[in-house]
Amino acid sequence: MIDIHAHILPGVDDGAKNWGQSLEMARMAVADGITVMVATPHLFKGRTIDRTRLNTKEIILQHVAQLRHRLYEEKIPLEIIPGCDFPLGFESLQLLDDGRALTINDANRYLLLELPDTSLPPATEEICFYLQSKGITPIITHPERHMIIQEMPYKLKRLIDSGCLAQMTGNSLTGWFGRRVKKISRQLVKLGYVHLLATDAHDPKGRPPLLSEAVTELSRLVGENRARAMVNDIPGKIIAGEPCF
Ligand SMILES: [Fe+2]
């Protein structure tokens, strides 16, 4: 399986705290059947907009190179691809335009787009349109955990109809985030509003890098072939920078 959203790089955000945790996460992912993982640190290290505390393209590429080396040394068969968890906002866009923010695999074709936790700003569609005008497809991350989309799924539909993709967190489907999120996740999947699953892993225990149980749940909803596509073919095309559909 291919996981396109994981906070596995150590000491750069609220994900893995050190190399020990990074390697433990890598071992867990491999044991669960994950062979490729996109390392996606938050663009702003402290989660608030602070241009002095950034995970720039250079920082992420440097950490990815180090992690690849550590995995090679430890004989852990996990391929790491560079990426970024990109928050919706004009400040972030400016950093992207300046070449300081990283898209998935540095290909300028796909970008993980994180909405603010409790709001859906009026500029969301405009920002998505702007990204698409530059040839970048926004991938809306974990819509099932977003307060407004939970109440009004048609707001997600609008974004999808305008060309965005949606990535669900695997563990939302397994009940990790509670019954309500699980129920909403099932609804969004059945409505056809979900294109791929990823772990959004942050550490080995609280937010682990696991997908297989979620794929079993997903298979019950959409059949095994479509479920497998959401963790193999589609993320594979995203990494390759190819059209998904
Ligand atoms: Fe994330």
Measured CA to CA, the distance from residue 63 to residue 82 in angstroms comes to 9
pLDDT for 49:
80
pLDDT at 160 over 80: yes
How many domains does the chain divide into? 1
In a domain, 89, yes or no: yes
pTM above 0.85, yes or no: yes
What is the whole-number distance in angstroms between the Cα of residue 226 and the centre of ligand 1? 24
What is the whole-number distance in angstroms between the Cα of residue 171 and the centre of ligand 1? 13
* Tens of pLDDT, residues 111-142: 999 999 889 999 999 999 999 999 999 999 99
Return the minimum-mean-pLDDT range out of 114-123, 204-213, 227-236: 114-123
Measured CA to CA, the distance from residue 231 to residue 34 in angstroms comes to 9
What is the whole-number distance in angstroms between the Cα of residue 28 and the centre of ligand 1? 18
pLDDT at 47 over 80: no
Question: Which CATH number is 19's domain given?
Answer: 3.20.20.140
What is the whole-number distance in angstroms between the Cα of residue 35 and the centre of ligand 1? 19
pLDDT at 48 over 80: no
Spatial CA neighbour of 37 closest among 245, 238, 228, 177: 238
| Residue 171 lies in domain | 2-240
What is the whole-number distance in angstroms between the Cα of residue 5 and the centre of ligand 1? 6
Mean pLDDT within 65-90: 97
Under a CB-based contact definition with an 8 Å cutoff, are residues 233 and 53 in contact?
no
pLDDT for 51:
81
In a domain, 126, yes or no: yes
In a domain, 30, yes or no: yes
What is the whole-number distance in angstroms between the Cα of residue 38 and the centre of ligand 1? 11
Mean pLDDT within 92-117: 97
What is the whole-number distance in angstroms between the Cα of residue 8 and the centre of ligand 1? 10
What is the whole-number distance in angstroms between the Cα of residue 40 and the centre of ligand 1? 7
pLDDT at 197 over 80: yes
In a domain, 227, yes or no: yes
pLDDT for 242:
97
